[in-house]
Amino acid sequence: MRSVNVWQAMARPGFLLSAWPWRAAGYLLSSTPVGIVVLLALVVGMAVGAALAVVLVGIPLLALLAFSGVPVAALERRRLRMVDARPTPTPHAEPAEPGLTAWARTRFREPVTWRELGYTVVFATLLWPLDLLAVGLALCMPLSLMATPVLLATSGDSEASVLKEWTAVSWPQAIGIAVLGFLLLGVCGYVLGAVAVARAELTRLLIAPPEPELGERVTELVRSRVRLVDAFEAERRRIERDLHDGAQQRLVALTMTLGLARLDSPPGPLADQLAKAHEEAGKALAELRELIQGIHPKVLTDYGLGAAIADAADRSAVPVDVTVDLDRRLPEAVEAAAYFVVCEALANVGKHSGAARATVTGRHERGRLTVEVHDDGRGGADTGRGSGLTGLADRVSVLDGRLALSSPPGGPTLLRVEIPCEWTETERSA
């Protein structure tokens, strides 16, 4: 099983021979240039803003410093990937309206914006010097010990100073100290890993989306799963009833008619054709009954989410433009959830929105699948009314995803679904 962070890698015997110690050192060292730039930007911004505040020009500049934590936190979430491959999505909400004013208003009201600003100040003044100190202590001491034979060979007085505390006067001593430094370097590799883990967890705690209480998560998970199971069962019963009262009854009647015609016809080519038709009708009836027990679009299984969404768009009552950028397969549960979300959303567009056109987009980035359904209809959709949108939210929440709906009166309507997932490494059998 492949390690996804430094902590998991440290628990395995091949840690020192892997790239994780170097990634931990790189993560800590890269704090220095970033921290220096952030510190200079904060100091210069505050100085200029305070100097110009007397003429009211600096007040907007000082207000902009309140948002300085947003880009710094975004960069820190990217740097976390060096030591932790787990997804770190942005905790910020999408503004309800386009434009810089709506963005600033949304960010100003979010507690995470101020938490990121606090992290930025601590990072610029304290964290990056500590990171640099940890790397310096962990690497300078073993490297200095390992360099003892070189110092002895290049010194003119046949002795080498070791960390300004000891002196090596012979080659056996120098080689022994170098071996000790090599062993100490391995120990320092684990030290760097532990420091990087602590540093990454602190960063994740401050700038990653806060996790709800365990009890609340369990309660909501149980409720959503119950609603989801009920929705699936209700949908299955409806499909079974519709198929039983419609297509299945017609196939049963056709099979019986062909069977009677087969009994009444004399032996010959006509009887053979009737027998073949009777057999095919029976197979069709068996396949329909099998379909009732488990409905799943074959195009989704064979060709993936992109092809399945395109097929659903072709069957939509409203013209749909599809842009799905997925070059590999996703987990089966994620593909199924996203597909049924799109199908339900397009059904709602056709029934209730009065839209002339709809758009479906899908992409996978930063460890999340994002699917958006947009229409130019009358708007006014509400997740609190009806079971359709509630069922969509439940279907997504089972996979720890989230559903966001923007549908002001007069339109347009935007349904956005995000599901954390990774690409599958092997192809599933059809």
Beta pairing class for 368-375 and 402-406: unpaired
CA 192 – CA 185 distance, rounded (Å): 10
Residue 292 has pLDDT above 60, yes or no: no
DSSP secondary structure string, 115-137?
HHHHHHHHIIIIIHHHHHHHHHH
Asked if 370 and 416 count as a contact pair (C-beta separation under 8 A), the reply is yes
**Per-residue confidence (pLDDT) for residue 430, from 0 to 100:** 41
Task: Grade residue 410 by pLDDT with cuts at 50, 70 and 90.
Answer: confident
Report the mean per-residue pLDDT for the chain.
80
What's domain 298-420's architecture?
Answer: 2-Layer Sandwich (3.30)
Q: Which two tokens stand for residue 315?
A: 């069957």
The Cα–Cα gap between 148 and 169 comes to: 10
Mean pLDDT of 172-192: 81
What confidence score (pLDDT) does residue 249 get?
A: 74
Over 80: is that where the pLDDT of 84 sits?
A: yes
Backbone angles phi, psi at 57, to 5 degrees: -80, -30
Greatest pairwise CA separation for the chain in angstroms = 119
Residue 90: phi and psi, rounded to 5, are -70, 140
Contact 204, 90 (CB under 8 A): no
| Side-by-side strand order, sheet with 358-365 | 320-325, 358-365, 368-375, 413-420, 402-406
Q: Do residues 392 and 398 make contact, with C-beta atoms less than 8 angstroms apart? A: no
Distances (CA, A) of 322 to 1, 55, 267, 278, 309: 37, 52, 55, 42, 8
pLDDT at 209 (0 to 100): 63
Over its C-alpha atoms, the chain yields an Rg (Å, rounded) of: 32
In terms of pLDDT, which residue wins out, 152 or 146?
Answer: 146
User: What would the pLDDT profile of 210-231 be if each residue is shown by its tens digit?
Assistant: 555 555 666 666 666 656 645 6
**CA torsion, ordered 279, 281, 284, 286, to nearest 10 deg:** -70
Which has the higher per-residue pLDDT, 263 or 102?
102
Instruction: Map residue 418 onto helix, strand or coil.
Output: strand
pLDDT at 162: 63
Q: Which is it for strands 413-420 and 402-406: parallel, antiparallel or unpaired?
A: antiparallel
pLDDT surpasses 70 at 394: yes
Give the pLDDT of residue 357.
Answer: 92
Cβ neighbours of 207 (radius 10 Å): 25
* Dihedral pair phi/psi, residue 419, rounded to 5°: -130, 120
pLDDT digit string (tens) for 226-241? 566 456 656 655 666 6
Output the pLDDT for position 370: 94
Q: Which residue has the higher pLDDT, 18 or 232?
A: 18
Residue 264 has pLDDT above 70, yes or no: yes
Question: What is the tens place of the pLDDT at every residue in 119-137?
Answer: 999 999 999 999 999 888 8
Task: Give the pLDDT of residue 429.
Answer: 44
The dihedral sign for the CA sequence 236, 242, 245, 249: negative
Pick from 404, 405, 400: which is nearest to 333 by CA?
400
Q: 330-389, pLDDT tens digit by residue? A: 988 788 888 888 988 888 888 888 888 999 999 998 889 999 999 988 888 776 665 566
**Span 308-313, average pLDDT:** 90
Q: Are 358 and 374 in contact (CB under 8 A)?
A: yes
Q: What is the pLDDT of residues 25-57, one digit of tens each?
A: 899 999 999 999 999 988 888 888 777 766 676
pTM over 0.75: no
Tell me the residue type at 194.
Answer: A
Average pLDDT over residues 99-117: 85
